[in-house]
Chain A
Amino acid sequence: MTNLSSAPRTQTPRMRPRFGWFSDRWIAVSFLTPTMLLLLFMTVFPLIWSLYLSFTEWSVARNTREAPVWVGTQNYVDLLTNERTWERFVVTGQFVVPAVVIELVLGFAVAMLLNRKFAGRGALMTGLLIPMMLSPVVVALFWRFMMQGDGVLNYYIEAVLGVPPVQWLTGRSVALWSLVLVDVWMWTPFMMLISLAGLSAVPKYLYEAAAVYRASAWFRFRHITLPMVTPLLLIAIIFRMMDAYKLFDQAFVLFGLGGGPGRSAQTAALYIYQVAFDQFNTGEGSALGYIMLVVIIALANIFIRVLNQAKTGQ
């Protein structure tokens, strides 16, 4: 009998795999390249080009056949020393702060109410989320119709409350609050959703322990619920704040490019659009865009620091 184990093994030649050249690295490169090229072309190039334009005096409409004229930081100096620019950022801030605060408070309150089991909870939640799922333009159009002088809001205000109609879209002191109202209606569900996710992640045993010690409802909220949910709420605030700061569509539909009475509701994004695409001052518009970018990054950084501190404190 031949001892198979001691028999010399036939050395089978190592087969060259058919797709040997198709290495993991090659696959990664081939998958990433189209995306990277697209990103370079659609995002990085416009970013660099608009950064260059922000240092030039040039109009895409009037100087199409001429090269941009380099003016250094003149556009930035002009804009930052222009009262109108600051007014637009102040107006945007006056919109962002109340809108996000009201959305946070309302959203969190509704989430607290929904953070328990009851019949019809799913249907109720779906209903509450509908505003967030609609197109902002459609939402703004609905509200514009309702907020007109003889619209349905004023009808109820006069007929039911018996008070004079509100100049929702035409009153200089009211217009910005109308924009806040529309934004709150649309985005409170987002805050509610994030808050609910945070609330449902709070371990039950903490509440059980608190109950053993007969902690009050306020104590449980102040020392268990709020600290546990805060990090998630801060993320929601960052998202909403950044989104609200660059709000364009709702303001445009409600008030047009002029931003309503006395430009009282002309947000920074509307102003950029007006400078860049209505007046076609491309250089100035690009500079304005970068100023807004810096403002948003600065604000986001502040919130991220606060978020990190909250996490560390936890």
Chain B
Amino acid sequence: MKKMLVIVTVLTLVGLLSIGPVVAQDRPNLSIVWFAWPPCDLLSSLVADYPDANVTVSCVPIGEWRNQIFADFAAQGGADLPILDSQFMGEAVAGSHLVDLTEFLQTELPFDDYNQTALSYYAEVPQGSGTYYSVPVITDTRMLVYRRDLFENPDVMAAYQAATGQELRVPQTWTELLQIAQFFKGSEYIENGFATHWINDGDLVQTAWNHILWSWGGELWDSATYQVEGVLNNEVGVQAVEFAQQIFQTAPDGAAAFGFTEVVSTVCNGSTAMIEIWYGFGAAFTSAETCEQSPNLGFAVVPGEVEHFISLGGQGISISAYSPNQEAAFAFVSWLQSDETQIAWVQGGGFPGRNSILASEEFLNAAPYNPTFAEAFQYVKDFWNIPEYAALLAIQGEYLNLAISGQMDAQEALDLIAEEQQAVLDEAYPDGPPAP
């Protein structure tokens, strides 16, 4: 009897131990790393419905996002599915950290349905090569959030007409936006005119200013020759910085240190008439519980000037070359990009990369700012995605922040940026740009 009991116990234990691995094999573990913002929370809730793997999403602070991904790459481990900014792609591909997704994109996913601009910026390295390393997980660009109640207030409209001789409307050009912002600054209606993130941290001041430069007809560099000097620091560039200096004057005190949180707060607390921020932050404006002015807000496309460009945001999802679950990762990306999941994604507040989903009723009705998104996305433009991106970004951020906040002359700032960035590029590419 005793012997029997031992045999039964041993068999039970063996049975229990063997069940564990079977279950784990059925549902492999997958991990995603992104930065902490509303779409990351949305993705976390969305993946709970994925039936074929246990998917965990890490939403790390934005300042640590890139560092964590690349530190993981250096350790040849980390998340199976890192979500990288378009600017990180060149560096990641140079280090052979990502799986080539070209064939997968062309055979398993509706390649032609993707917004080709987004696909090229997020995934194609080098650009124009036809080799893709990510699939758009969220497309994003910048939106104008304005106090609709002020813009539609007859008294305000009359006062604006009297002051400027023009009709108060949602600005169609940057010059018009400046005029409106100057009218509101210190007025009896509201404290400040316009705010965005001018802080020298990450790519914040750069993405806020770049599209002003592009809309004025300027360029950051010549991507064919890797030339910065003479391209950036010319008359157009100076005009774009001087314009930013003027618009900065209409912002709240301390706006040179404004990051995302401060920009959202300043319109939600009713102290600023207009702000500009990524669509990805849209969810922050839709609830009166978290945003006092929510019922009074309107959403519009960021204007242009001589030309019309808006900074590109958004990211693609990649598969790590070090992932032990690459097969499961491919299956997950297929599921994430399926029509059903994409509809659930947009209904939750996400922005799709596929044209058919962008045009769908589900997307257009999901949020009050979504109808403007499709229009805004026509104007997107991105900047360097070469491995030297971080060094170029740091140089631009330092002087741009000083110049826009009025602590450095515009020409001097652009000359310094051009000189230092050129030195970085010349050192990295002594024989000229790499062959495409």
In the complex the two chains form, is B407's CB within 8 Å of A261's CB?
yes
* Cβ-defined partner of B252 (8 Å) among A149, A263, A280: A149
**Given the interface contacts A256-B202, A261-B401, A280-B91, does A169 sit within 8 Å of B390 by beta carbon?**
no
Do A278 and B201 contact each other (CB < 8 Å), given the known contacts A62-B91, A150-B254? no
| Residues B394 and A61 in contact, CB atoms below 8 Å apart | no
Q: Identify 14 new A-B residue pairs, CB closer than 8 A, beyond the known A148-B254, A170-B256, A279-B394.
A: A60-B70, A62-B94, A62-B95, A64-B95, A65-B95, A149-B257, A151-B254, A172-B402, A255-B201, A256-B63, A258-B401, A261-B401, A262-B402, A263-B398
Residues of chain A with a CB closer than 8 A to B96's CB: 64-65
Closest to B198 in A: A170
Contacts of A255 in B (CB 8 A): 201
Interface residue from A65, A154, A262 paired with B253 (Cβ < 8 Å): A154
User: Does the CB pair A64–B73 fall under 8 Å?
Assistant: yes
- Tell me, in angstroms, the Cα distance from A168 to B256 when the chains sit together: 11
A-B contact pairs, 16 of them (CB 8 A): A60-B70, A60-B71, A62-B387, A65-B95, A65-B96, A150-B253, A150-B271, A154-B253, A172-B402, A172-B407, A256-B202, A257-B63, A260-B257, A262-B398, A263-B200, A278-B394
What 1/0 flags go to B369-390 for Cβ under 8 Å of A? 0000000000000000001001
Find B200's partner among A60, A167, A258 (CB 8 Å cutoff): A258
Query: Which of chain B's residues has its CB closest to A280's CB?
Result: B70
A60 lies within 8 A of B74 (CB): yes
CB pair A61–B70 under 8 Å, yes or no, is yes
Q: Mark B387-420, 1 if CB is under 8 A from A, else 0.
A: 1001100100111011001011000000000000
Q: Which residue of B lies closest to A65 (CB)?
A: B96
Residues of B within 8 A of A168 (CB): 254
Q: Which of A44-94 contact B (CB under 8 A)?
A: 59-65
Whole-angstrom CA separation of A262 from B401 in the bound complex: 7
Q: Are A256 and B70 in contact (CB under 8 A)?
A: no
- Set of chain B residues within 8 Å of A59, measured between Cβ atoms: 95
B residues less than 8 Å from A154 (CB atoms): 253-254
- Mostly, the A contact residues are loop
Q: Chain A 251-288, CB within 8 Å of chain B: the 1/0 string?
A: 00001111111110000000000100111100000000
Q: How far is the CA of A198 from the CA of B372 in the complex (A)?
A: 69
B262 CB within 8 Å of chain A: yes
Chain B 222-262, CB-CB to A under 8 Å as 1, else 0, gives 00000000000000000000000000000011111100001
Known: A149-B257, A170-B257, A257-B63. A64 touches B200 (CB 8 A): no
Q: Closest CB of chain B to A129's CB: distance in Å? A: 30
Q: Is the CB of A278 within 8 A of B74?
A: no
User: Beyond A256-B201, A280-B70, is A261–B394 a contact (Cβ under 8 Å)?
Assistant: no
- When C-beta atoms are compared, the residue in chain B nearest to A167 turns out to be B254
| Interface-centre pick from A62, A63, A65, A259 (highest chain B CB count, 10 A) | A62
B402 to chain A, nearest CB (A): 5
Residue of chain A at shortest CB distance from B255 = A149
Q: Answer whether residue B67 sits at the interface, using C-beta atoms and an 8 A cutoff.
A: yes
The smallest beta-carbon distance between A252 and chain B, in angstroms, is 8
Measured CA separation A274–B201 after assembly (Å) = 12
Chain A residue nearest to B254 (CB atoms) is: A149
For B257, the chain A residues whose CB sits under 8 A away are 148-149, 169-170, 260
Residue of A nearest to B262 (CB): A148
The 9 residue pairs across chains A and B that have the minimum distance between CB atoms: A149-B254, A149-B253, A256-B201, A170-B256, A258-B200, A60-B74, A61-B70, A169-B257, A279-B390
Say whether A261 contacts B402, CB under 8 Å.
yes
User: Is the pair A64, B74 in contact by a Cβ cutoff of 8 Å?
Assistant: yes
Contact with A along B293-329 (1 / 0, CB 8 A): 0000000000000000000000000000000000000
Contacts of B387 in A (CB 8 A): 62
With A261-B401, A262-B401 known as contacts, the answer to whether A278 contacts B67 (CB < 8 A) is yes
Which of A64, A165, A256, A280 lies in contact with B199, CB distance below 8 A? A256
- Min CB distance B88 to A, Å, is 9
Verify if B287 is at the interface (C-beta below 8 Å from A): no
| Chain B residues at the A interface, C-beta cutoff of 8 Å | 63, 66-67, 70-71, 73-74, 76, 91-92, 94-97, 199-202, 252-257, 262, 271, 387, 390-391, 394, 397-399, 401-402, 405, 407-408
Bound together, the chains give a CA A169 to CA B253 distance in angstroms of 11
Q: Which residues of A lie under 8 Å from residue B390 when comparing CB positions?
A: 278-280
CA of A64 to CA of B78, assembled, Å = 14
Partner of B76, one of A64, A148, A170: A64
Contacts of B70 in A (CB 8 A): 60-61, 280
Contact residues, A109-151 vs B (CB, 8 A): 148-151
Tell me the nearest residue of chain B to A258, going by C-beta: B200
Most buried by A among B70, B255, B408: B70
Please report the C-alpha to C-alpha distance between residue A13 and residue B71 in the assembled complex, in whole angstroms.
65
Q: Are the C-beta atoms of A258 and B201 separated by less than 8 Å?
A: yes
Chain B nearest CB: distance from A50 CB in Å?
14
Closest-by-CB residue of B relative to A63 is: B95
Q: Contact: B253 with A277, CB < 8 Å?
A: no
Query: A293–B219 Cα gap in the complex (Å)?
Result: 41
A261 in contact with B97 (CB, 8 Å):
no
A169 touches B254 (CB 8 A): yes
User: In whole angstroms, what is the CA distance A263 to B398 when docked?
Assistant: 6
Contacts of A279 in B (CB 8 A): 390-391, 394
User: Which residue of B76, B96, B254 has the most chain A CB atoms within 10 A of its CB atom?
Assistant: B254
Which parts of A2-55 form the interface with B (CB within 8 Å)?
none
Q: Which of B73, B252, B253, B271 contacts A61 (CB 8 A)?
A: B73
Q: How far is the CB of A122 from chain B (nearest CB, A)?
A: 40
* A33 CB, nearest partner CB in chain B, Å: 27
Known: A170-B405, A172-B407, A256-B200. A262 touches B254 (CB 8 A): no
Question: What's the least CB distance linking B208 to chain A, in Å?
Answer: 14
- In the complex, the chain B residue whose C-beta lies closest to that of A282 is B74
Our pick among A61, A170, A278 for the contact of B254 (Cβ within 8 Å) is A170
Residue pair A61, B91 in contact (C-beta under 8 Å): yes
Instruction: Determine the residue in chain B with the shortest Cβ distance to A59.
Output: B95
Cα A263 to Cα B407 with chains together (Å): 12
Task: Given A61-B91, A170-B256, decide whether A262 and B202 contact each other with a Cβ distance below 8 A.
Answer: no
For A152-185 the 0/1 string (1 means CB < 8 A from B) is: 0010000000000101111110000000000000
Q: How far is the CA of A263 from the CA of B396 in the complex (A)?
A: 12
The CB with the most chain A CB atoms within 10 A, among B66, B94, B97, B390, is that of: B390
A260 touches B200 (CB 8 A): yes
For B391, the chain A residues whose CB sits under 8 A away are: 279
